[in-house]
Amino acid sequence: MLELRNLRRSFGDVVALDGLSFEVAPGELCGFLGPNGAGKTTAMRCAVGVTAADAGEVRWRGQPIDLAVRRRTGYMPEERGLYPRMRVHEQLVYVARLRDVDAEVAARNADRWIDRLGIGERRDDPVEQLSLGNQQRVQLAAALVHDPELLILDEPFSGLDPLATDVMSEVLREQADAGVAVVFSSHQLDLVEDLCRTVAVVARGRLVLDGEVAALKAAGGRRLRVATDGDDDWTARLPAGAAVVSRRDATVTVALPPTLDPGAVLDVARRSGRLVDVHLDQPRLSELFRTAVADRPDLAAELTEVDR
């Protein structure tokens, strides 16, 4: 289990982490979400030891994270980081060797990931000669080449084309299936919704929402879209707890509390006319995200552009 416990970190007057806590279990694929400046990058850097927390701690399998654990961690920094003039294969071997992987194993792993990520033709080219997308593949390979048991990736999907996005998603899911604890930050909420079983949402250094995506969506209340061929004055007689979210022509969208049976709303609507269209939706992750951040306007208003 990766545990971030009550992490605090300030940069001058800017509070980046304000008592952040969450957990990621082995085999879990966790999306780490938050607006710009929420503290995602700082939290991840604390987890890999690149930034020291002012207070709080990060544990892996019950132990504070030390050098030995960091060497078994795969990390993809936000700004990316590779030696521009070093060749792809050589660079991957070097990164693995620094993490105490035997030279032969490192060479084999490097080749395996180069092939898997489709950059075989660039194996012996300097990294700076690769396209940005391919550099990102090398960066991912650098996080994986030592067979880590913990993967911490800062915006791994940013800048990828749809095909590369598919490959990245597939690799992350495979890693989680193999028992690796994977946490990655992203602003692509739909992608996270499809890919991750759990999410953690952070705003101004604090956790504002976390848990399994399915449970969050179920708990977040459903939306019922109803269209009738009669008047829409039935909405005045809605059962307690239900509320109109929007109206467009004859179509009304109603938010339902988790306990309310949608049939009760339909019964009311049917009294004003024949049902023309009915649609029951769970909320999208993006809606949950917006609600979670907006529910704390005190935080949302103060978000800075500094995402350290």
Partner 1 sequence: MSAWQTVRLIAGREVRQRLRSRMFVGTTLALSALLVLGALGPALLGAFERTPDDEPVAADPVRVAVVGSLAPAETAALEATLGPLTTVPAANEAAVVSALEEETADLGIIVGDRVLTPPATGMFAVGTGRAFQAAETLALTEVLDAVGASGSAAAVLGVEPLPVEVIGEDDQALQAARLIAANLAVVFIFAMLMFYASMIVNGIIEEKGSRVVELLVEAVPIRQLLAGKVVGLGTIALGQMFVLFVPATTVLVLANRDLIPPGIGGMLAIIGLWFALGYALYTLISAGLGALVSRPEEAQAVLTPASLLALVGYVVGFAAIQAPDASFAVVAGWVPFSAPFVLPVRQLVGEPTSLEVAGALVLVLLAIAVVALLAARIYEGGILRVGARVGIRDAWRGSSR
Q: Which of residues 274-303 bind partner 1 (CB under 8 A)?
A: none
Q: Which is nearer to partner 1, 92 or 224 (CB)?
A: 92
Q: Is residue 60 near partner 1 by the rule CB under 8 A?
A: no
Q: Which is nearer to partner 1, 90 or 212 (CB)?
A: 90
- What amino acid occupies position 110? A
Which of 16, 82, 119, 202 touches partner 1 by CB under 8 A? 82
Q: Is residue 45 near partner 1 by the rule CB under 8 A?
A: yes
Q: Is residue 35 near partner 1 by the rule CB under 8 A?
A: no
Q: Which is nearer to partner 1, 75 or 289 (CB)?
A: 75
Q: Is residue 86 near partner 1 by the rule CB under 8 A?
A: yes
Q: Is residue 20 near partner 1 by the rule CB under 8 A?
A: no
Nearest approach in angstroms of CB 78 to partner 1 is: 8
Residue 61: partners with Cβ closer than 8 Å, 6 or more residues away: 1
Q: Is residue 222 near partner 1 by the rule CB under 8 A?
A: no
Integer angstrom CA distances of residue 61 from 58, 65, 213: 10, 9, 24
Specify the residue for token string 């995200």: 289
Which of 67, 132, 236, 240 touches partner 1 by CB under 8 A? 67
Nearest approach in angstroms of CB 20 to partner 1 is: 17
Q: Is residue 263 near partner 1 by the rule CB under 8 A?
A: no
Nearest approach in angstroms of CB 157 to partner 1 is: 18
Stretch of 49-57, 165-173, 193-201, 234-242 lying at the interface with partner 1 (CB under 8 A): 49-57
Q: Is residue 66 near partner 1 by the rule CB under 8 A?
A: no
Which of 97, 123, 222, 270 touches partner 1 by CB under 8 A? 97
Q: Which of residues 104-143 bind partner 1 (CB under 8 A)?
A: 142
Q: Is residue 221 near partner 1 by the rule CB under 8 A?
A: no
SS3 of the chain: CEEEEEEEEEECCEEEEEEEEEEECCCCEEEEECCCCCCHHHHHHHHHCCCCCCEEEEEECCEECCHHHHHCEEEECCCCCCCCCCEHHHHHHHHHHHCCCCHHHHHHHHHHHHHHCCCHHHCCCEHHHCCHHHHHHHHHHHHHCCCCCEEEECCCCCCCCHHHHHHHHHHHHHHHHCCCEEEEECCCHHHHHHHCCEEEEEECCEEEEEEEHHHHHHHCCEEEEEEECCCCHHHHHCCCCCEEEEEECCEEEEEECCCCCHHHHHHHHHCCCCEEEEEEECCCHHHHHHHHHHCCHHHHCCCCCCCC
Nearest approach in angstroms of CB 115 to partner 1 is: 22
Which of 21, 94, 111, 273 touches partner 1 by CB under 8 A? 94
Nearest approach in angstroms of CB 175 to partner 1 is: 18
Stretch of 21-29, 80-88, 175-183, 246-254 lying at the interface with partner 1 (CB under 8 A): 80-88
Read off φ and ψ for residue 301, nearest 5 degrees.
-65, -25
Read off φ and ψ for residue 215, nearest 5 degrees.
-65, -40
Which spans of this chain sit near partner 1 (rule: CB under 8 A)? 45, 48-52, 67, 70-71, 73, 75, 77, 79-86, 90, 94-95, 97-100, 142
